[in-house]
Chains A and B, each alone.
Chain A
């Protein structure tokens, strides 16, 4: 009996499993960490130091060995699914759902690193094959090179503990800078709805014949509108005394539009979306919501060329205009009077010169007795004009700049510059990706948590790339790749060193030119 007692206590000595009474008593645990005092400089064998050391150590062990105890009602139950490498929630998610997790197949899921972090915080209890997983199980099962490595998880947890929102980086879902410039709606693959495009007269993309018939109706309605607008336009045009033009029959606009080339006719009455639809029929329509503009088929009215002189422009399709703005027929005659003026001026000036100035009136030219002397005269004149010696200026290689010409200092410095300054992302699109230097996470600021939407997170504050102190410093090629794949958001290298994490970033820098023009 005694022996059994001994082995029992022997086994329980290193047990970390709490008894029910200990679990119950854990409710009244303190939630504060003792503050660490000042450190000593040098160890002497004093009793005081030894005591303080013991006290620090005891504090340390009591904190380290404390086990997590939570009320069952506060824990979200979940299961680990190894095939998909995700954690599926069995009970509804808590407050963390605002920034973490995703929905799939009607159920709520967490990524493995998110689940592990929530396990460490004591919010989620993950089961596998009916048994709850310990933190050790979580580390060993959830972290791998196919999900998130231990070093990456260290960075993830570090940032999450500080309050940042951290998501995995997906290079394919980042819009290119051009797409962002055009403010195109992002394509969403994860069961998202297609954005509804604003169309007033949007046809269903069916056969071409239906489209042409609709075009005709479109044109008819346009004509109707033109009649209405014409009366409005008349009032405006009173000032310009173009009544005579306006008095032409309403049939004119129609004939005008009919008289335009067939290509223009297509565009004048129809909307771009219709063209788009037809094109998309012939091509394979992409699943995403991006529209393709076929610039070859969109025509701009030609007012300047002399072949065709339409005096009227048909109003654009109302579906292209914002709101209920209605635009009437545009009379282009007064506008045309204002273009192509420059050319006329030039011509006049040249005419003047050629009319007034006869080269034979030049006395020096008359003094020349033969062509050789005339050529010498020309050379001298050129020299004077340029202000430099002929042997410098009359060869293939001339001086960079004539000192008698005016030039701003900045331009002059530009002329003598030998090296070209370049930006970090120049040439980066030609580089092939590398396995080693990859962006792992998007990091969003903590103060955006209140309005954070997982479906539309917005621009991240920075992107993380995880490496260790044993790795080499990223070379220019790696930095270019990272900057290029990140777009205009700074890339931060999180360097992990056995529990310590340091953050470094390389920033593009322009050497300022200290020039006052």
Chain B
């Protein structure tokens, strides 16, 4: 069988589907998250993890993008809007009911088979001798099971979808996904500085996440955050912006407490100027 065409150009031209929630860009489909990670963008998970929803250590979908990540995707034409909910889905209710009925029938069959095999296993493990009579007894019990077995409706396994159903077509068909994601304007020179620093560092192969807790703009990882600790706290400043010395002291102190180097980043010329802060004694 031929390989499906989508898989071949997955990492190169995969278009990621975004949807807005309260003006925040969210990713919902697992494949979109995978493709995003392969582009070196991490994002932040917001939802409960389906397997263990009552804990905060590991979270699940949706994934929230930094404004810089969103802008980067827009510039690369790698993001598109997911279609909104289908308002007039006539007949969808009937389709869904029919599908649930079909699922129920299939699951009943599977449940019966499962029960039979469990029974068989129990019987063969207990009766090791007397093969003749065992077969008779087995057949009788299996027949009884066939007749008396019922699969209650309440035992039907049902899926609670994370992403909206119907969006799971191959994203390569750009005709399906609507127009390219627009670049949403971010006001302020600080945002501009942030984006330039983000783009530069990403271009050098670093992974970046948000660093509000550390008093900076980004946390800079040398590799994937799953496997490495962050090395830098990046603080973005415009080149001509005056900085209070006390602010520098506080951010340097914070950095030394968490064992990360503070990086002052300013876009200048075509690139970005980096200054690292290091606490040293009198020389």
Contacts and interface: CB of A to CB of B under 8 A. Distances in A.
B162 A42 contact: no
Contacts of A117: 48
Contact of B160 (A119, A158, A495): A119
B95 to A, nearest CB: 9
A134 B160 contact: yes
Interface string B11-45: 00000000101101010111101100100000011
B76 interface: no
A498 interface: yes
A135 B47 contact: yes
A41 B229 contact: yes
Interface stretch (A22-30, A248-256, A296-304): A22-30
A173 to B, nearest CB: 27
Given A132-B160, A502-B213, A63 B49 contact: yes
Contacts of B7: 13
Given A13-B170, A20-B107, A57-B226, A135 B162 contact: yes
A18 B158 CA distance: 9
A499 B24 CA distance: 12
B282 interface: no
B2 interface: yes
B50 A68 contact: yes
B223 A72 contact: no
B224 A131 contact: no
B64 A498 contact: yes
Nearest to B225: A39
Given A14-B6, A125-B160, A20 B106 contact: yes
B30 A17 contact: no
Given A71-B154, A71-B157, A130-B93, A21 B53 contact: no
A41 B21 CA distance: 36
A20 B158 CA distance: 9
A162 B56 contact: yes
Interface string A413-448: 000000000000000000000000000000000000
A139 interface: yes
Interface string B195-213: 0000000000000011011
A69 B157 contact: yes
Contacts of A158: 56
Interface in A1-46: 2, 5-6, 9-11, 13-18, 20-21, 23-24, 26-27, 29-31, 33, 36, 39-43
Given A119-B160, A150-B21, A158-B56, A61 B34 contact: yes
Interface in B135-154: 152-154
Nearest to A42: B222
A154 B6 contact: no
Nearest to B224: A53
Contact of A72 (B92, B154, B161): B154
A21 to B, nearest CB: 6
A23 B22 contact: no
A49 to B, nearest CB: 7
Contacts of B160: 67-70, 75, 119, 122, 125, 132, 134-135
Contacts of A60: 226
A502 B155 CA distance: 41
Q: Which 7 A-B pairs have the closest CB atoms?
A: A73-B154, A499-B44, A497-B212, A469-B212, A65-B30, A130-B93, A20-B106
11 contacts: A9-B4, A10-B6, A15-B168, A20-B103, A33-B49, A39-B227, A41-B229, A70-B158, A139-B62, A161-B55, A502-B213
Interface of B: 1-2, 4-7, 19, 21-22, 24, 26, 28-31, 33-34, 37, 44-62, 64, 66, 85, 89, 92-93, 96, 102-103, 106-107, 110-111, 114, 152-165, 168-171, 209-210, 212-213, 222-224, 226-229
